[in-house]
Amino acid sequence: MHIYFLSAATVFLFYTIWSQPKARLPHFDETLRELSLGDINFLHTTDTHGWFLGHINQRQYSADWGDFLSFTTRLRDICQARDLDLLLIDTGDRHDGNGLSDLTTPNGLYSSDVFMQQEYDIVTVGNHELYVPAVSELEYKTVVPHYGDRFISTNVEYLNDKGEYVVFGHDRYRYFTTEVKKYNVFALSFMFDFKGGNERVRVTPIETVVKEDWFLDLLEKHTRKPVDLVLVAGHIPISHSWLELYVLHGVLRTFFPDIPIQYFGGHSHIRDFTLLDDRAFALQSGRYCETVGFMSLSNIKGDNVTIDRKYIDFNLQSFLHHTKRSTIEQFNTDEGLQVSEKLTNYSNLLKLDESFGKVPRSYYITGADYYSNDSNSMLRFIENEVLRELEPKICHEDMDPILPPPSNSRIVLINTGSIRYDLYKGDFSRNSQFIVSPFKNKWKVLQNVPARIATRLQAILNKGPYIMENEIDYTIDLKELLSPYQREINSRISSLKLRYGQTTTDDLGSDGDDTIHRPVPQFAVPNVIQSYEYTDQQQPVDVVFYDFIERYVLWALQKACDGDNLLYYSLVEQLTFYNDCEQEFNVGELLKKYSLKHWR
């Protein structure tokens, strides 16, 4: 392994020529692992969720989409000089989770324009392109024609203005020849079995597609053509436990028993690499512009394919290092700078930088221990400080605001799934608000709940099933992250002097991350958290909660009532809105209110 350090002089140069005032630079002294280029190389992005501006308050992921553009240009030049191919793949979920995508109508108006500056070879949709009809329409009418035959989808369809279902893409597949090595590639693209799409989209599950005649004919037809590589760009997790992928793989192998198959996955927001068999490889490249996945294959026509995979941290040190540039001037391209400028323009239009205060220190969701009341725990901070900012108010309903007896205590309950991202030291901006909690829920209240019952709800809910946020998010299984193998690696690495960052263990071992880090600690988080403001512990309590978790709260209430159905029904009878002004009072807005008061 070749370890590479930038000299102190180079570091100084970076600081002096870098002029964007808000931009943060990475640490330029991290130890990096090298990429092994192969005959055919891939860069993969997935689940970007609109993070094209980069992570302003996290140096490790501080590059923007313009830097990414320069990176791909420079790497393509290197590959071409060495007679190697480079292909770019994106596997969807470009919306929801960042102000850049979520503050426009329709959502994605500006962010898609930024995304499309990148020249992908294969692009497909994720489930976040399928929730809202206007978003699907923008995607179908703008992004699909932009990429033409490079935008494919094998199992997602769109209901066009003539009322016909058409492929959500240029075609169901792409058959093409690579520029340099002239490999014949047969590319397909699959969405996992997603049922939450809007009325203008239709997803046919893999299990069904693989039995349909048109699909079997398509595969059969390609067995009669020269194919050197089968490529599957999926919005689907690649973990060994995701059975759909294995159903697909089994069918592909019956038609292409010996041809290498390269899968790219997504949706579960993790870095991962799996081997499906000795000639079938799958890479998944994280989330939120934290990661560019790298994959290389060599000797694909021989009986001994050699491979490499790396998870590249989305920052300038990694980008410069892997393209062998020692100054930012050598690295930047005109097109890249142009995209960075476009981003700045959009950010200004949306006032994303507008600061509502300075976060004095970082708060972590799973990186700090909630159960030991760690003062770095984001969830404790929200319980103790932020939820108290909620006030009763009615915007939509034809009713008076709730004015509970002033002597009542109050509990405000939310599911932790509604908190999306850590809060980092630095500006708390309009964008931070979206990043931390983009969900717009209303608040409901159960009034005058006897204290002995109200105070049991949280514990009951935390013993219950995990509450998924709007069924949108796939939740990472913490147990899986903390496998004994991972723990052993963690303890071995933590003895070195390294910064915290991602440390991935996959089917090839634990040398996939390009930057060598100590693992971020991962603590268990509860299902729900609550603030508890009490006047007197004997007084009745108003239990306020996000309407999204209503059925869970009522379930817990019934348990807490312990067979006293009369009490349960009398409480439920009075269930009503507490605050239905979701634009003004969701958790992101409560944080903003807190910031304006305490962090300015």
Ligand X SMILES: *[C@@H]1O[C@H](CO)[C@@H](O)[C@H](O)[C@H]1NC(C)=O
Interacting residue ranges for Zn ion, rule: CB under 5 A = 47, 93, 126-127, 267
Q: How far is the CB of 43 from ligand X (least distance, A)?
A: 23
Q: Which single residue is written with the structure tokens 């692992």?
A: 33
Does 342 bind ligand X (CB under 6 A)? Our answer is yes
Q: How far is the CB of 476 from ligand X (least distance, A)?
A: 26
Structure tokens at 235: 């919005």
| CB-CB contact of 29 with 300 (8 Å) | no
Does 384 bind ligand X (CB under 6 A)? Our answer is yes
Positive or negative: CA dihedral 20, 26, 32, 36? negative
Among 177, 338, 491, 537, binds ligand X (CB under 6 A): 338
Rounded to an integer, what distance in angstroms lies between the CA atom of residue 291 and that of residue 187?
Answer: 23
Structure tokens at 159: 């209901």
Contact characters 509-528, ligand X, x per CB under 6 A: --------------------
Q: How far is the CB of 206 from ligand X (least distance, A)?
A: 32
Structure tokens at 381: 């901070």
Structure tokens at 419: 């908190």
Rounded to an integer, what distance in angstroms lies between the CA atom of residue 271 and that of residue 279?
Answer: 20
Q: Which is nearer to ligand X, 63 or 201 (CB)?
A: 63
Report the DSSP beta bridge partners of residue 464.
Answer: none
Strands (E), 450-540: 500-501, 518-519, 528-533
**Helix (H) or strand (E) run with residue 552 in it:** helix 550-561
Residue 338, contacted partner among ligand X, Zn ion, none, CB below 5-8 A by kind: ligand X
Does 341 bind ligand X (CB under 6 A)? Our answer is yes
Among 20, 80, 160, 306, binds ligand X (CB under 6 A): 306
Q: Which is nearer to ligand X, 291 or 455 (CB)?
A: 455
| CB-CB contact of 418 with 549 (8 Å) | no
Q: Which is nearer to ligand X, 123 or 300 (CB)?
A: 300
Q: Which is nearer to ligand X, 114 or 152 (CB)?
A: 114
Q: Which is nearer to Zn ion, 269 or 444 (CB)?
A: 269
Rounded to an integer, what distance in angstroms lies between the CA atom of residue 78 and that of residue 85?
Answer: 10
Q: How many residues bind ligand X (CB under 6 A)?
A: 10
Q: Which is nearer to ligand X, 111 or 317 (CB)?
A: 111
- Judged by CB under 6 A, the stretch of 21-29, 163-171, 337-345, 424-432 that binds ligand X is 337-345
Structure tokens at 278: 């000795």
Q: Which is nearer to ligand X, 7 or 345 (CB)?
A: 345
Q: How far is the CB of 297 from ligand X (least distance, A)?
A: 12
Q: How far is the CB of 286 from Zn ion (least distance, A)?
A: 10
Does 499 bind ligand X (CB under 6 A)? Our answer is no
Does 440 bind ligand X (CB under 6 A)? Our answer is no
Q: In what order do the strands lie in the sheet with 165-167?
A: 165-167, 156-159, 201-203
Strands 426-429 and 518-519, by their bridges, are unpaired
- Judged by CB under 6 A, the stretch of 77-85, 289-297, 341-349, 588-596 that binds ligand X is 341-349
Q: Which is nearer to ligand X, 337 or 482 (CB)?
A: 337
Among 16, 19, 304, 583, binds ligand X (CB under 6 A): 304
Q: Which is nearer to ligand X, 181 or 342 (CB)?
A: 342
Question: Among 165, 141, 140, 146, which residue's Cα sits nearest to residue 155?
Answer: 165
Q: Going by C-beta distance under 8 Å and a sequence separation of 6 or more, which residues neighbour residue 354?
A: 429, 430
- Judged by CB under 6 A, the stretch of 39-47, 63-71, 143-151, 335-343 that binds ligand X is 335-343
Q: How far is the CB of 591 from ligand X (least distance, A)?
A: 18
Q: How far is the CB of 525 from ligand X (least distance, A)?
A: 15
The DSSP code for 515 is B
| CB-CB contact of 455 with 399 (8 Å) | no
Q: Which is nearer to ligand X, 345 or 537 (CB)?
A: 345
Rounded to an integer, what distance in angstroms lies between the CA atom of residue 180 and that of residue 186?
Answer: 16
Q: Alpha-carbon Rg of the chain, whole angstroms?
A: 25
**Which phi and psi angles does 78 have, rounded to 5°?**
-60, -45
> Residue 324: left if φ>0, alpha if ψ -120 to 50, beta else—which one?
left
- Judged by CB under 6 A, the stretch of 94-102, 265-273, 299-307, 320-328 that binds ligand X is 299-307
| Chain residue at closest Cβ approach to ligand X | 304
Residue 127, contacted partner among ligand X, Zn ion, none, CB below 5-8 A by kind: Zn ion
> Three-class SS of residue 571?
helix
Q: Which is nearer to ligand X, 383 or 422 (CB)?
A: 383
Does 345 bind ligand X (CB under 6 A)? Our answer is yes
> Three-class SS of residue 402?
coil
Q: How far is the CB of 269 from Zn ion (least distance, A)?
A: 6
Q: How far is the CB of 375 from ligand X (least distance, A)?
A: 5
Contact characters 12-41, ligand X, x per CB under 6 A: ------------------------------
Q: How far is CA 56 from the centre of its chain?
A: 16
Q: Which is nearer to ligand X, 223 or 299 (CB)?
A: 299
Does 483 bind ligand X (CB under 6 A)? Our answer is no
Q: How far is the CB of 383 from ligand X (least distance, A)?
A: 8
Q: How far is the CB of 359 from ligand X (least distance, A)?
A: 17
Q: Which of residues 357-376 bind ligand X (CB under 6 A)?
A: 373, 375
Q: Within 10 A of 110 (CB to CB), how many other CB atoms are there?
A: 21
Q: How far is the CB of 153 from Zn ion (least distance, A)?
A: 14
Q: Which is nearer to Zn ion, 65 or 256 (CB)?
A: 65
| CB-CB contact of 236 with 245 (8 Å) | yes
Q: How far is the CB of 138 from Zn ion (least distance, A)?
A: 17
Does 278 bind ligand X (CB under 6 A)? Our answer is no
Q: Which is nearer to Zn ion, 130 or 571 (CB)?
A: 130
Q: Which single residue is written with the structure tokens 């039995």?
A: 211
Burial class (CB in 10 A: 0-12, 13-18, 19+), 169: buried
Structure tokens at 545: 């909660």
Q: How far is the CB of 42 from Zn ion (least distance, A)?
A: 20
SS (H, E, C) 316-379: HHHHHHHCCCCCHHHHCCHHHHHHHHHHHHHHHHCCCCCEEEEECCCEECCCCCCCCCCCCEHH
Strands 528-533 and 122-123, by their bridges, are unpaired
| CB-CB contact of 103 with 72 (8 Å) | no
Note the residues at the interface with ligand X (CB under 6 A).
299, 304, 306, 338, 341-342, 345, 373, 375, 384
